[in-house]
Amino acid sequence: MEFLNALVSLSNFMLIPALAYGSQLALGALGITLIYSILRFAHFAHGDTMALGTAAVIGGTFALQGAGVSIAPLPTALLAVPIGVVAMVLYLLAADRLVYRYYRRVRAKPMIFVMASLGVMFVTNGITRLFMGVGETRFEDGARFVFSVRDFRAFTGLSEGLALRNAQAITIVTALIVMVALFWFLNRTRAGKSMRAYSDNEDLALLSGINPERVVTITWVITGILLVLAGTLYGLDKGFRAFNYFQLLLPMFAAAILGGLGNPLGAIVGAYVVAFAEMGVTFAWRRVASYLLPDGFEPSGMVQLLPVDYKFAVTFMILVIVLLFRPTGIFKGKVL
Amino acid sequence: MTARGYILFALMALALAGVGAFQSWQLAITILNMSLISAIMALGVNMQWGYAGLFNVGIMGFTAVGGLAVVLVAQPPVPEAWAAGGLGALLGLLLGVASILAAVVVYQRLPKGRLRGLAVFAVLVVGYFITSAVFGPATQAIEAVNPASEGYLGGLGLPVVLAWPVGALFAAGVAWLVGKVSLGLRSDYLAIATLGISEIVIAVLKFEGWMSRGVNNVTGIDRPVTRPVDLQAAPWVQSLAETLGWGVGQTASVVSGLGYAGLFILVLGVLIWLSERAWNSPWGRMMRAIRDNEVSARAMGKDVKQRHLAIFVLGSAVCGLAGAMMVSMDGQLTPGSYEPLRFTFLIWVMVIVGGSGNNWGAVLGGFVIWFLWVQVEPAGRWFMELVTSGMADGSDLKAHLLGSASYMRLLTMGVALLLMLRFAPRGLIPER
């Protein structure tokens, strides 16, 4: 019983939130890693593009709500995701045509691409704030819980409760579906295979008749889908604030580097490692410990390794450790 | 500097004079001072990017560390706080450093294998618990001392100008750590590592109240120039105000601002002189050789990683210096006000627009972009009023658009950066 209570408490406050957060990061990190392996630069505008995509979804959600459309118990935002995806794919392709394509043509150094992505980041940031301001917007509707703490207690009779929020369940399920679909696409379809070929050896791919502009376009389309989903799920889970999306940049990059930049499977594993490390180190273990330790040994403090404010430090430490010991990531980078 | 450079600087001076004539001289001086500080930051970034091609997106962190130095050097110490937990906090810090060093020693001494990993982990865990047992109570005790106005250890009470070189040293230390880890790897790694460290520096400033008072801000820091309030009483300021026909308050703040400007110009002048000397020296040629072709530079026997580390530390130190100067101009350290867009990415726009690889270009970029940053906001409001003039008064959309006018500056900066990068990648004053 004690052990079960400990497990439930741990799941409720750490495992489930970390799983949801990790799924959101994974979708974001996948986009970063895809861009890195095809376009060969670190996409600094990723966080802000996610924010803009989410803003588009929020706009769509409000419009749908205004028209009285609802798919309760699911949040209306899911219906609006296609709107956001279309908007963001167009936006990313426009950015590619207006900005990045020129540097591809002149074969600029990777750092110039990064610099250009900073410019795109500024513009995207400005547009997002023009629409949404800097405050927090919540757009979650429908049912809040798949099952709540009270349901769980009544069902199991345990003293600790476990709740599964709708947003968390949707996040985990969606991420799973998207990942499977992405791997199916990369491994089974012609377009996916041409992407892998292009990433592996650009010259050879050109020689075998793969159209690079087409590969690039497909990459941006997939990135658009991934980042709108990642942004929307994150927003449903934690509320939308433009600045928070910018700050996701660091954990997403850390995840992608940890898994080996350019390696999609690595990005997913990396994302969950980062998420669980962040939550685990900043989690107050007191309650869990009080169940597991024998009577009389209950900890007096919070048993929290670091305050929540330092979650970036955890990500950063992971990054440092990877850079010091395994700069190519746990899986070797650049294999799509 | 070429004729083009002189003309551009003259135009910039004219623009500032225009602000003075048509808006107010106080505003012109404020813009001038912040431009000077921005120019110094841009100079530091230009060393890293222009001389060596290193991409640092953690400028915010280095300037903030410089700002912290001002508090630690110039603020009077708080004896009660020192008595409450000063030694404990210092001992805790030492223990933390010692446990990391111990882990490094263990790592180096033991043979490779699972045992080594476990031993390092054990050392770190034990070190963590000992450190937090000493550090936690001490900092809590410090923060409990008179929390409304103090609650921190204070500084050393030394003259504030001393804090400027100390700020540079602090930033150099942080840069050394980051550079040691991430240089010599793929070039994007430095960018991501610096992005991380800058967020951490800000987090530390915000949440280590015993050191920096955190989000409660440290205000009323000693200033190197007499404050306008004290100047107002001076007879010569009053007579100057009479001659100019201005109010005493305005005259005093202009005079005080000019004092800062003099100090800043002095610092900027010395830095530019040094940078130009370095640029034209064999060392500068070596750096450019490394930047332009790392492989052949390495073939010539240059230790690329060491050279990169040196210039990264140097450039960050200059950013730290600028950060310290900024805090001592404001007279306060407000950790909440450090935003990456303003303190990291805006500086990048300055360097690119001004001309990377040219010290004068970076300085001009600092002036031009800061000027735009300040002036685009009213322009954006004007633009929004124009756009919304046809809409009905009181409509939600109109109110929303007018309210978001200030975000136009982000948009403008992004467009400026993209246009420069595309059509004039060498900047306003190109590298020679």
What is the nearest CA distance from A191 to chain B, expressed in angstroms?
28
Q: What pLDDT sits at residue A311?
A: 83
Q: How far is CA A195 from CA A190, A200, A201, A220, B120, in A?
A: 9, 9, 10, 12, 42
Q: B175 with B124, same domain?
A: no
The predicted model scores a pTM of 0.88
Decide if B199 and A316 are in contact by the 8 Å CB cutoff.
yes
Q: B103 with B212, same domain?
A: no
Whether B411 and chain A come into contact, CB under 8 Å, resolves to yes
C-alpha span between B389 and B386 (Å, rounded): 5
Decide if A257 and B55 are in contact by the 8 Å CB cutoff.
no
C-alpha span between A148 and A162 (Å, rounded): 7
Q: Is residue B430 part of a domain?
A: no
- What residues in A contact B195, CB-CB < 8 Å? 249-250, 253
Task: List the single residue in A122, A125, A133 with the smallest CB-CB distance to B404.
Answer: A133
Question: Final residue of a domain: which of B124, B153, B182?
Answer: B153
Residue range of the domain that includes B260 = 3-77+154-423
Question: Final residue of a domain: which of B130, B153, B176?
Answer: B153
Q: Is residue B356 part of a domain?
A: yes
Task: List the single residue in B181, B188, B410 with the smallest CB-CB distance to A129.
Answer: B410
CB burial of residue A160 (10 Å; 0-12, 13-18, 19+): buried
Q: Is residue B428 part of a domain?
A: no
Q: B146 with B177, same domain?
A: no
- What residues in B contact A118, CB-CB < 8 Å? 345, 348, 417
Instruction: Please name which of A32, A15, A45 lies closest in space to residue A255, comparing C-alpha atoms.
Output: A32
Question: Final residue of a domain: which of B121, B153, B185?
Answer: B153
Q: What pLDDT sits at residue B243?
A: 82
Q: B7 with B135, same domain?
A: no
Task: List the single residue in B192, B197, B200 with the smallest CB-CB distance to A257.
Answer: B192
Instruction: Please name which of A249, A220, A235, A260 lies closest in space to residue A312, comparing C-alpha atoms.
Output: A249
- What residues in A contact B415, CB-CB < 8 Å? 119, 123
What is the nearest CA distance from B411 to chain A, expressed in angstroms?
4
Q: B27 with B163, same domain?
A: yes
C-alpha span between A28 and A227 (Å, rounded): 6
Q: What pLDDT sits at residue B419?
A: 92
Q: Is residue B19 part of a domain?
A: yes
- What residues in B contact A129, CB-CB < 8 Å? 404, 407, 410
Residue B369: Cβ within 10 Å count: 27
Q: Is residue B429 part of a domain?
A: no
Q: B209 with B243, same domain?
A: yes
Q: B142 with B261, same domain?
A: no
What is the nearest CA distance from B187 to chain A, expressed in angstroms?
8
Low-confidence ranges of chain A (pLDDT < 70): 332-336
Q: Is residue B15 part of a domain?
A: yes
Q: B189 with B284, same domain?
A: yes
Q: What pLDDT sits at residue B394?
A: 66
- pLDDT (tens, 9 = 90+) of chain B, 432 residues, equals 788 889 999 999 999 998 888 888 888 999 999 999 999 999 999 999 988 888 888 899 999 999 999 998 888 888 888 888 888 888 988 999 999 999 889 888 888 878 888 888 888 888 888 888 888 888 888 888 777 777 788 778 888 888 999 999 999 999 998 898 888 777 788 888 888 888 888 888 888 888 888 888 888 888 888 777 777 777 887 888 788 877 877 888 888 888 899 999 999 999 999 999 988 899 988 988 888 888 898 888 888 889 999 999 999 999 999 999 999 888 888 888 888 888 888 999 999 998 888 899 999 999 999 998 888 877 777 877 787 777 776 677 777 777 777 778 888 888 988 998 889 888 888 887
C-alpha span between B426 and B352 (Å, rounded): 8
What is the nearest CA distance from A125 to chain B, expressed in angstroms?
7
Whether B192 and chain A come into contact, CB under 8 Å, resolves to yes
- The radius of gyration of chain B's CA atoms, rounded to the nearest angstrom, is 24
* pLDDT tens, position by position, A133-192: 888 888 888 778 888 888 888 888 888 888 888 889 999 999 999 999 999 999 999 999
Whether B199 and chain A come into contact, CB under 8 Å, resolves to yes
Q: B360 with B418, same domain?
A: yes
Q: B82 with B210, same domain?
A: no
- What residues in A contact B199, CB-CB < 8 Å? 247, 250, 312, 316
Decide if A126 and B187 are in contact by the 8 Å CB cutoff.
no
Q: What pLDDT sits at residue B365?
A: 93
Q: B69 with B100, same domain?
A: no
| Enclosing H/E stretch for B365 | helix B359-388
Decide if B414 and A125 are in contact by the 8 Å CB cutoff.
yes
Task: List the single residue in B189, B207, B407 with the smallest CB-CB distance to A323.
Answer: B189
- What residues in B contact A119, CB-CB < 8 Å? 414-415, 417-418, 421
Nearest CA in chain A to B54: A111
Residue that has been written with the tokens 């048509």 in this structure: B22
Q: Is residue B384 part of a domain?
A: yes
Provide the number of CB pairs (under 8 Å) joining chain A to chain B: 126
* Domain total of chain B: 2
Q: B280 with B225, same domain?
A: yes
CATH code assigned at B386: 1.10.3470
- Cβ-based neighbours of B285, under 8 Å, separated by 6 or more: none
Q: What pLDDT sits at residue A91?
A: 95
Whether B382 and chain A come into contact, CB under 8 Å, resolves to no
Q: What pLDDT sits at residue A334?
A: 55
Task: List the single residue in A118, A127, A319 with the smallest CB-CB distance to B345.
Answer: A118
- Cβ-based neighbours of B41, under 8 Å, separated by 6 or more: B59, B63, B318, B319, B322, B323, B347, B350, B366
Nearest CA in chain B to A41: B188
* pLDDT tens, position by position, B231-254: 777 788 788 878 887 787 788 888
3-state secondary structure of B14: helix
Whether B414 and chain A come into contact, CB under 8 Å, resolves to yes
Nearest CA in chain B to A250: B196
Q: Is residue B432 part of a domain?
A: no
